[in-house]
Amino acid sequence: MEILNIYPNPERSEWAALTERCTRQEEEITRQVASILDEVRTGGDRALREITRRIEGRDCETFEVPADIRRAAAELVPAALKEALATAKANIEAFHRAQLPPEVSVEPMPGVRCVQRALPIRRVGLYIPGGKAPLFSTVLMLAVPARVAGCPEVVLCTPARPDGTVAPEILYAADLCGVDRVYTVGGAQAVAALAYGTESIPRVDKIFGPGNRYVTKAKQLVGANDVAVDLPAGPSEVLVLADDEASPAFAAADLLSQAEHGGDSQAVLVCASERFALDTRRAVEEQLQQLRRGDTIREALRQSRIVVLDSREKMIGFANAYAPEHLIISMRDAWKAAAQITAAGSVFIGPWSPESAGDYASGTNHTLPTGGWARVYSGVNTDSFLRKITYQELTRDGLSALSPAIVAMAEAEGLGAHAAAVRVRLKKQRS
261 annotated as ligand-binding = yes
Q: How far apart are the first and last CA of the chain?
A: 85
Helix (H) or strand (E) holding 148: helix 136-149
340 annotated as ligand-binding = no
| Separation of CA 95 from chain center | 16
96 annotated as ligand-binding = no
Asked if 283 and 269 touch (Cβ cutoff 8 Å), the reply is no
Rounded Cα gap, residues 148 and 137, in angstroms: 17
Asked if 398 and 111 touch (Cβ cutoff 8 Å), the reply is yes
Q: Helix, strand or coil for residue 104? A: strand
**Would you call 325 a catalytic residue per the annotation?**
yes
Q: Which amino acid makes up residue 194?
A: L
Q: CA neighbours within 13 Å on the CB side: how many for 39? A: 20
236 annotated as ligand-binding = yes
Helix (H) or strand (E) holding 126: strand 123-127
Other C-beta atoms closer than 10 Å to the C-beta of 210 total 28
Catalytic residue among 39, 237, 325, 355: 325
Other C-beta atoms closer than 10 Å to the C-beta of 339 total 10
Angstrom distances, CA of residue 263 to CA of 100, 256, 295, 346, 351: 37, 12, 8, 22, 26
326 annotated as ligand-binding = yes
Q: What is the DSSP string of 304-322?
A: -EEEE-SSHHHHHHHHHHH
- How does strand 326-330 pair with strand 237-242? parallel
359 annotated as ligand-binding = yes
Helix (H) or strand (E) holding 285: helix 274-288
Catalytic residue among 39, 169, 260, 326: 326
Q: Helix, strand or coil for residue 237? A: strand
Rounded Cα gap, residues 279 and 298, in angstroms: 18
Asked if 192 and 40 touch (Cβ cutoff 8 Å), the reply is yes
Rounded Cα gap, residues 310 and 377, in angstroms: 30
**For the CA atoms of the chain, what is the radius of gyration?**
25
Burial of 363 (0-12, 13-18, 19+ CB in 10 A): middle
Rounded Cα gap, residues 190 and 201, in angstroms: 9
Binding positions for substrate: 236, 258, 261, 326, 359, 413, 418
Catalytic residues: 325-326
Binding positions for NAD(+): 127, 189, 212
Binding positions for Zn(2+): 258, 261, 359, 418
Binding positions: 127, 189, 212, 236, 258, 261, 326, 359, 413, 418
